[in-house]
């Protein structure tokens, strides 16, 4: 199996093999050969997806300055974390906890 096979072509071929195997209309020896080819194609697809995922993570990490998560319109990480702090006990007129942005 050619290692430089494009993901889409490998996936298309794998889908055809699955369809053929599910039909149940082939001799055992042919089914085993198709299954073996399908395993090879599955490995190729998995490898290509893993490479794409790594590339996306690297690009996202560099875009966010090392912080994963949503970004604002200027490609900066959004500040969504709130820290809970206790108010001094002398002030008992409001709620006990206050959220800081």
**Structure confidence by residue, pLDDT tens digits, 15-59:** 999 999 999 999 999 999 999 999 999 999 999 999 999 999 999
The mean per-residue pLDDT over the stretch 85-94 comes to: 53
1 within 8 A of 40, measured Cβ to Cβ: yes
pLDDT at 99: 47
Please state the pTM of the whole predicted model: 0.57
Q: What is the pLDDT of residues 65-80, one digit of tens each?
A: 755 555 555 555 555 5
Which residues neighbour 77 within 8 Å (Cβ) at sequence distance 6 or greater? Answer: 64, 65, 67, 69, 70, 71
pLDDT at 84: 54
Asked if pLDDT for residue 100 goes beyond 60, the answer is no
36-61 CB burial, b ≥16 within 10 A, e <16: eebebbeebbeebeeeeeeeeeeeee
């Amino acid at each position: 199996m050619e290692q430089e096979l494009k993901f889409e072509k490998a996936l298309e071929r794998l889908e055809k093999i699955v369809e053929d195997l599910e039909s149940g209309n082939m001799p055992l020896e042919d089914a085993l050969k198709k299954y073996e080819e399908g395993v090879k194609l599955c490995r190729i697809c998995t490898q290509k997806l893993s490479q794409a995922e790594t590339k996306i993570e690297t690009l996202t990490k560099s875009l966010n300055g090392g912080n994963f998560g949503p970004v604002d319109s200027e490609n900066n990480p959004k500040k969504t974390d709130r820290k809970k702090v206790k108010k001094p006990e002398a002030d008992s007129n409001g709620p006990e906890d206050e959220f800081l942005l």
